[in-house]
């Protein structure tokens, strides 16, 4: 829930004319002039802002190039019996590090980066993205101790954390760490973390140019996948401190995702066979931190072109589109669930965007993805951008402690009506109810909460839509319903 305006924001209603020549910052290779499709909203700017949100979620000792002026070092002593566990991302507006949703967010972000690399380059954000996605990956490497067959999966007790509403920089209490092992199984969180590492290997090998780091990630991913496969179980059956926050219902989807990412990384057929074996077929409820099914289906379809996966992908997207089984708000947001409604719509839009890039119903799926992202950025009855910092009308009171607390204060008031003193640039807030209603209130964790997993599919969709625009392949924006 921050905001920085580090880059010149074009208003949330900015549009380019049809087939205009647009100057796009090409990063390392300089400025390119390309014929681009029209964009109703500035997807490139929204992409830039989303990266800053993740930078604001950093835990640990911050680097000299930290772009968030109101953030400083925090939780630098996170550890367990002397083992360093500093780093990673705070989960949401709190100060817990929940590795299960962090790992999901990481591999989804990596997927979008790999799929739409040219969008990041054209937006001048390749290096910013490399820096951003490296942060959780470095932390995951600390969490995996192969010679002890141990993976740390959480730092801080969620209930104890709720008693403190202050800046992370001012935390000085002991923060317990929780782990899975050969006696406390966690195939879901271990599989998700292996997927993050394997996809991270491809990112740092092929995009970011850090082959040593990439090699470390691949070695860790292989070992962690073997561990996840050997000691099967749901981590919340063992790590009770996660149950009230991120209860797991299955682990086969994460094993499938981990295996297919390892196949992409290594080309080894055994991983592909595992991915197909573990894949839970059918039309899944949603795409989120605990349901990687349709993401695995996309990756499997890319590897095999098998109609089994194609059919599951298409049925999933059609279930979220108008006329499908998932309800829609009167103004056009797919309404899967009340908590973080924007998240589920944006995640479905990400699946549609990648499917379109893979040649599945391109125009239809692009238009659906645009309808959801455009709703989030302003095509709603309040004409508000649910992404903080885009345009001039966006949430000012997100449910986020660091954003809500002045930098010179040791405590702040979570129920204050004042705007947050620090703008949480780029964060996607939870979103409206089923009637498109929304009130900007800090104490509303449902509609005004944020989370690492909220922005993951959203950012990937922004990259995909900008990729289509840059390549003059974006259809005209669908009409707003409100």
Q: What is the pLDDT of residues 180-221, one digit of tens each?
A: 999 999 999 999 999 999 999 999 999 999 999 999 999 999
Q: Per-residue pLDDT tens for 52-78?
A: 999 999 999 999 999 999 999 999 999
Give the alpha-carbon dihedral of 212, 214, 220, 224, to 10 degrees.
180
Between residues 462 and 2, the one the model is more confident about: 462
Distances (CA, A) of 231 to 190, 227, 234, 255, 290: 10, 6, 10, 12, 19
**Mean pLDDT of all residues in 76-95:** 97
**157-163, long-range: CB within 8 Å, 24+ apart, which pairs?**
157/96, 157/241, 158/94, 158/96, 158/98, 158/241, 158/242, 158/244, 158/245, 159/241, 159/244, 161/94, 161/95, 161/96, 162/94
The answer to which of 90-99, 178-187, 401-410, 470-479 has the lowest mean pLDDT is 401-410
> How many Cβ atoms are within 10 Å of 305's Cβ, its own excluded?
11
Instruction: Specify if 198 maps to a domain.
Output: yes
Name the token pair of 224.
């962690």
128-167 in b/e burial notation, b at 16+ Cβ within 10 A? Answer: bbbbbbbbbbbbbbbbbeeeebbbbbbbbebeebeebbbb
Q: Nearest Cα to 295, choosing from 230, 353, 364?
A: 353
Residue reference for tokens 């799929």: 115
Model confidence band, residue 26 (pLDDT cutoffs 50, 70, 90): very low
Q: What CATH number did the domain enclosing 182 receive?
A: 1.50.10.10
pLDDT at 35: 63
Q: Is the pLDDT of residue 381 over 50?
A: yes
Instruction: Specify if 224 maps to a domain.
Output: yes
Instruction: Specify if 475 maps to a domain.
Output: no
Q: Is the pLDDT of residue 33 over 70?
A: no
Q: Is the pLDDT of residue 247 over 50?
A: yes
Write the CB contacts of 86 (distance below 8 Å, at least 6 apart in sequence).
59, 60, 61, 75, 76, 77, 78, 79, 139, 142
Between residues 409 and 344, the one the model is more confident about: 344
Name the token pair of 64.
């000299």
Instruction: Specify if 14 maps to a domain.
Output: no
Instruction: Specify if 5 maps to a domain.
Output: no
Q: Nearest Cα to 447, choosing from 326, 329, 352?
A: 329
Distance CA 413, CA 168 (A): 15
Question: Which residues make beta-bridge pairs with 179?
Answer: 152
pLDDT at 261: 99
Residue reference for tokens 């649910």: 386
Instruction: Specify if 481 maps to a domain.
Output: no
Distance CA 28, CA 352 (A): 30
Model confidence band, residue 9 (pLDDT cutoffs 50, 70, 90): very low
Question: Residue 111: which domain range?
Answer: 20-470
Q: Is the pLDDT of residue 308 over 90?
A: yes
Q: Per-residue pLDDT tens for 275-299?
A: 999 999 999 999 999 999 999 999 9
Distance CA 207, CA 94 (A): 32
Distance CA 254, CA 48 (A): 29
Write the CB contacts of 309 (distance below 8 Å, at least 6 apart in sequence).
279, 297, 298, 300, 301
CB 391 within 8 A of CB 378: yes
Instruction: Specify if 432 maps to a domain.
Output: yes
Between residues 411 and 319, the one the model is more confident about: 319
pLDDT at 24: 34
pLDDT at 344: 98
Model confidence band, residue 462 (pLDDT cutoffs 50, 70, 90): very high
Distance CA 188, CA 169 (A): 31
Instruction: Specify if 12 maps to a domain.
Output: no
Split into its structural domains, the chain has a count of 1
Task: Report the sign of the C-alpha dihedral through residues 470, 476, 481, 482, in that order.
Answer: positive
Predicted TM-score (pTM) of the model is: 0.93
């Amino acid at each position: 829930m921050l905001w920085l305006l580090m880059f010149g924001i074009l208003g949330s209603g900015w549009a380019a004319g049809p087939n205009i020549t647009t100057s796009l910052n090409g990063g390392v290779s300089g400025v390119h002039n390309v014929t681009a499709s029209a964009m109703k909203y500035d997807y490139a700017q929204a992409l830039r802002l989303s990266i800053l949100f993740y930078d604001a979620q950093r835990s640990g000792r911050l680097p000299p190039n930290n772009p968030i002026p109101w953030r400083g070092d925090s939780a630098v002593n996170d550890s367990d019996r002397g083992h360093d566990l500093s780093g990673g991302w705070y989960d949401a507006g709190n100060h817990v590090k929940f590795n299960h949703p962090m790992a999901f967010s990481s591999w989804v972000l990596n997927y979008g980066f790999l799929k739409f690399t040219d969008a990041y380059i054209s937006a001048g954000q390749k290096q910013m993205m490399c820096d951003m996605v490296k942060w959780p990956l470095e932390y995951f490497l600390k969490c995996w101790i192969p010679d002890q067959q141990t993976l740390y999966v959480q730092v801080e007790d969620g209930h104890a954390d709720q008693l403190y509403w202050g800046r992370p920089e001012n935390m000085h209490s002991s923060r317990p760490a929780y782990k899975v092992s050969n006696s406390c199984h966690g195939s879901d969180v271990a599989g998700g973390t292996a997927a993050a590492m394997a996809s991270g290997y491809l990112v740092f090998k092929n995009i970011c140019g850090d082959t040593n780091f990439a090699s470390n990630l691949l070695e860790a991913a292989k070992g962690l996948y073997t561990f996840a496969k050997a000691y099967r179980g749901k981590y919340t059956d063992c790590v009770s401190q996660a149950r009230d926050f991120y209860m797991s219902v299955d682990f086969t989807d994460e094993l499938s995702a981990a295996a297919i990412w390892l196949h992409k990384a290594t080309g080894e057929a055994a991983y592909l066979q595992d991915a197909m074996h573990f894949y839970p077929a059918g039309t899944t409820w949603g795409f989120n931190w605990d349901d990687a099914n349709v993401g695995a289906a996309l990756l499997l379809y890319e590897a095999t072109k098998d109609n089994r996966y194609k059919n599951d992908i298409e049925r999933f997207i059609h279930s979220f589109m108008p006329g499908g089984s998932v309800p829609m708000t009167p103004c056009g947001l797919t309404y899967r669930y009340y908590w973080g409604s924007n998240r589920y719509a944006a995640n479905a839009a990400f699946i549609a965007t990648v499917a379109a890039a893979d040649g599945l119903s391109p125009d239809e799926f692009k238009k659906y993805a645009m309808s959801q992202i455009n709703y989030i950025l302003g095509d709603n009855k309040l004409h508000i951008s649910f992404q903080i910092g885009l345009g001039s009308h966006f949430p000012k009171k997100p449910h986020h402690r660091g954003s809500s607390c002045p930098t010179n204060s040791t405590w702040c008031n979570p129920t204050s009506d004042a705007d947050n003193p620090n703008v949480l640039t780029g964060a996607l807030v939870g979103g409206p109810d089923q009637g498109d209603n929304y009130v900007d209130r800090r104490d509303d964790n449902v509609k005004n909460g944020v989370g690492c997993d909220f922005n993951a599919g959203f950012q990937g969709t922004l990259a995909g839509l900008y990729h289509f625009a840059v390549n003059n392949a974006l259809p005209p924006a669908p009409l707003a319903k409100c």
